Amino acid sequence: MLNKLIANILPYMPKKLIWVFSKRYIAGETIEEGLLASKLLNAKGIEVTIDLLGEFITTLNEAEDNKNQYMDIVSRFTEESIQGNFSLKPTMFGLLINKNVCYNYIREIVELAAQNNSFVRIDMEDSQCIDMEIELFRKLRAEFPGNVGLVLQAYMRRTLSDLEALNDLNTTENPINFRLCKGIYVEPENVAFKKYDEVREHFMADLKYMFENKMYAGIATHDKYLVEESMKLIREMNISKNMYEFQMLYGVTPELRQMIVDNGHLMRVYVPYGKKWFNYSTRRLKENPKMAQHIIKALFIR
Ligand code: FAD
């Protein structure tokens, strides 16, 4: 209740104040800040996936601008030998306005990443986008099998059957590469599991399916229980290090992150940057009132 109230009030606070809350979770506004944060993480033995902030655009001019910014960041990563790849949200290229335009822009980015021997992850957005994002992934994977991956959300009731349906794409040469996360958007009960334990249970079931079917898993969570259960599964199933990695968001649970790194697992941090940080922060707050708690903590705990 209190979280909800805080989340509703925060978006109306001055931008400068929201920045105080948000800066711990965002590398900065510029490409240079995104690159610097990535290099600092690399220096600690951590890889990155960089994300230009922006989503649910309303005009296609924005899509072209976003594509150009991604082309720059892909080139800069190669020029500056940064250990990392790229995450993007299809709605920032106009998925909900014109699917073909969106596909062509993302294809250009994946093509450049492939030329640079790199990789692009398609983030998963809310439930209205899932079918379209899977379709996009299928099309891109057919052309660039080793250079594109997708996110699946454990809270979605459909995820295990999506995994089963997508298994037809899997090959030993190019294991299909999924990031598995809980899911951030607010969805109705008939679409998504709501109970904390139910989401955890499905997270582990999805992960087990991925390992059993020799898919590459990006285990994206800050939930200590899930991290420990995943490590247990990796040991029990004797999963080799080239078939999984852990992933976390920039600025979140650095101690748990370090524990994973110290245990010899590959860690990748999701580094968001860009001018759209205000929309990103306030949208996340409205969608997930639990975030308000973390943000309030970030204000007081330095
Ligand atoms: P939770 O139970 O939410 O969190 C576990 C603990 O972690 C909390 O108790 C708290 O201590 C800490 N924690 C979690 N979040 C924060 C925070 N923001 N600040 C401070 N502490 C925090 N969702 C999508 O829907 N689509 C995506 O494409 C997507 N990509 C993601 C990529 C990565 C690399 C990660 C890590 C997450 C991504 N998410 C995405 C978000 C994800 O779905 C969850 O909403 C988010 O990770 C919180 O779930 P959790 O597993 O960490 O568990």
Q: Which domain holds residue 18?
A: 1-26+276-302
How many CB atoms are closer than 10 A to CB 255?
7
Q: Which amino acid is at 287?
A: E
Closest atom, ligand 1, to C-alpha of 295: 19
Q: What is the mean pLDDT of residues 237-242?
A: 98
Same domain for 144 and 261, yes or no, is: yes
Return the sign of the alpha-carbon dihedral for residues 290, 295, 300, 302. positive
Longest Cα–Cα distance of the chain, Å, equals: 52
Question: Which residue puts its alpha carbon closest to atom 14 of ligand 1?
Answer: 222
Express each pLDDT in 170-226 by its tens digit. 999 999 999 999 999 989 999 999 999 999 999 999 999 999 999 999 999 999 999
Q: What is the mean pLDDT of residues 125-143?
A: 98
Same domain for 17 and 147, yes or no, is: no
- Which residue from 174, 115, 173 is spatially nearest to 146, judged by alpha carbons? 174
Contact 136, 122 (CB under 8 A): yes
Same domain for 254 and 286, yes or no, is: no
How much distance in Å is there from the Cα of 255 to the middle of ligand 1? 15
Given a cut of 70, is residue 279 above it in pLDDT?
yes
How many CB atoms are closer than 10 A to CB 59?
10
The pLDDT value recorded for residue 23 is 84
Question: Which residue puts its alpha carbon closest to atom 52 of ligand 1?
Answer: 222
Same domain for 17 and 51, yes or no, is: no
ipTM for the whole complex: 0.98
Same domain for 67 and 198, yes or no, is: yes
Express each pLDDT in 262-273 by its tens digit. 999 999 999 999
How much distance in Å is there from the Cα of 96 to the middle of ligand 1? 25
What residues act catalytically? 123, 179
The pLDDT value recorded for residue 22 is 80
Same domain for 259 and 293, yes or no, is: no
Q: What is the mean pLDDT of residues 249-261?
A: 96
- The whole model's pTM is what? 0.94
Cα 140 to the center of its chain, rounded Å: 18
Same domain for 280 and 138, yes or no, is: no
The pLDDT value recorded for residue 14 is 75
Express each pLDDT in 46-98 by its tens digit. 999 999 999 999 999 999 999 999 999 999 999 999 999 999 999 999 999 99
The pLDDT value recorded for residue 11 is 65
From the annotation, which residues make up the binding site? Answer: 89, 124, 153, 221-222, 283-284
Same domain for 195 and 115, yes or no, is: yes
Structure tokens at 139: 């099309």
Contact 183, 153 (CB under 8 A): yes
Same domain for 79 and 217, yes or no, is: yes
Q: Which residues line ligand 1 (CB under 6 A)?
A: 123-124, 151, 153, 179, 181-185, 220-223, 247-249, 252-253, 270, 291, 294
If one residue of 88, 123, 181, 221 were mutated to test the ligand 1 pocket, choosing by the most ligand atoms within 8 A of its CB, it would be: 181
Same domain for 295 and 232, yes or no, is: no
Domain count, the chain: 2
The pLDDT value recorded for residue 301 is 45
> Which contacts qualify for 295-301: CB closer than 8 Å, 24 or more apart?
295/10, 295/21, 295/22, 296/6, 296/21, 298/21, 298/24, 298/25, 299/20, 299/21
Same domain for 191 and 301, yes or no, is: no
What is d(CA 155, CA 132) in angstroms, rounded to the nearest whole number?
A: 18
Mean pLDDT of the chain: 92
Same domain for 74 and 169, yes or no, is: yes
Given a cut of 60, is residue 245 above it in pLDDT?
yes
pLDDT band at 278 (very low <50, low <70, confident <90, very high): confident
CA-to-CA separations, 85 to 82, 231, 284, in angstroms, rounded: 9, 24, 23
The pLDDT value recorded for residue 193 is 98
Q: How many residues does the chain have?
A: 302
CATH number at residue 245: 3.20.20.220
- Secondary structure, 3-state, the chain: CHHHHHHHHHHHCCHHHHHHHHHHHCCCCCHHHHHHHHHHHHHCCCEEEEEECCCCCCCHHHHHHHHHHHHHHHHHHHHCCCCEEEEECHHHHCCCCCHHHHHHHHHHHHHHHHHCCCCEEECCCCHHHHHHHHHHHHHHHHHCCCCEEEEEECCECCHHHHHHHHHHHCCCCCCCEEEEECCCCCCCCCCECCCHHHHHHHHHHHHHHHHHCCCEEEEECCCHHHHHHHHHHHHHCCCCHHHEEEEEECCCCHHHHHHHHHCCCCEEEEEEECCCHHHHHHHHHHHCCHHHHHHHHHHHCC
